[in-house]
């Protein structure tokens, strides 16, 4: 992880359905890196998708730190692991799509894999906006 010793827990947060309310809730909760004082957040999702939501929500003075694995996390920033090749993923808020559901599953699988390997200390699944 970073160069200094850090005892904060590393918390994995899965994106959920990228067309649901999850990305907005996550961004608003983590905006400004205030939560990074208590833990090291890692969002399992898509840097591209989250940046699209940042633009939509007009969140400007805050950047997300893209990493490929938890060991690269910066303890002072909000880290994002992109869980799929997302060079063409475009958001459609409020639309139910098979692709968004499949990507949600990829995020969940990656976070569970890292949790089982001891790379993160806890995982939060963003299940907001699920109907059933």
Binned at pLDDT 50, 70 and 90, residue 109 comes out as very high
How many structural domains does the chain have?
Answer: 1
Decide if 30 is inside a domain. Answer: yes
Binned at pLDDT 50, 70 and 90, residue 130 comes out as very low
Binned at pLDDT 50, 70 and 90, residue 125 comes out as low
How many Å from the N-terminal Cα to the C-terminal Cα in the chain?
39
pLDDT in tens, 2-20: 434 578 999 999 999 999 9
pTM: 0.86
pLDDT in tens, 30-57: 988 888 889 999 999 999 999 999 999 9
Decide if 29 is inside a domain. Answer: yes
> Sign of the C-alpha dihedral, residues 104, 120, 13, 61?
negative
Decide if 98 is inside a domain. Answer: yes
Q: At what angle do helices 22-30 and 47-56 cross, to 10 degrees?
A: 80
Instruction: Quote the CA–CA distance of 40 and 91 in Å, as a whole number.
Output: 26
Decide if 110 is inside a domain. Answer: yes
Decide if 131 is inside a domain. Answer: no
Structural domain of 79? 10-125
Instruction: Quote the CA–CA distance of 15 and 92 in Å, as a whole number.
Output: 15
DSSP 20-67: SSHHHHHHHHHGGG-GGGT-EEEEEE-HHHHHHHHHHTT--S---EEE
Instruction: Quote the CA–CA distance of 63 and 77 in Å, as a whole number.
Output: 8
Decide if 132 is inside a domain. Answer: no
| 8-state DSSP, 33 | G
Res 94 pLDDT > 50: yes
Could you tell me if 110 and 44 are in contact, meaning their C-beta atoms sit under 8 angstroms apart? yes
Q: Which CATH number belongs to the domain containing residue 65 in this structure?
A: 3.40.718.10
Decide if 54 is inside a domain. Answer: yes
Please tell me the predicted confidence (pLDDT) of residue 1.
Answer: 42
Res 128 pLDDT > 50: no
Instruction: Quote the CA–CA distance of 7 and 115 in Å, as a whole number.
Output: 17
pLDDT in tens, 69-89: 999 999 989 999 999 987 788
Decide if 74 is inside a domain. Answer: yes
φ/ψ (deg, to 5) at 27: -60, -45
């Amino acid at each position: 992880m970073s160069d200094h010793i850090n005892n904060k827990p590393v918390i994995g947060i899965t994106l959920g359905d990228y067309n649901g309310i999850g990305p907005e809730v996550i961004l608003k909760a983590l905006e400004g890196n205030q939560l990074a004082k208590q833990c090291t957040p890692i969002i399992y999702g898509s840097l591209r998708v989250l940046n699209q939501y940042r633009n939509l929500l007009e969140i400007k003075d805050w950047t997300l730190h893209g990493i490929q694995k938890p060991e690269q996390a910066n303890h002072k920033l909000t880290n994002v692991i992109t869980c799929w090749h997302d060079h063409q993923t475009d958001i459609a808020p409020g639309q139910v799509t098979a692709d968004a559901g499949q990507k949600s599953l990829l995020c969940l699988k990656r976070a569970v894999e890292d949790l089982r390997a001891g790379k993160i200390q806890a995982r939060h699944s963003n299940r907001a906006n699920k109907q059933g």
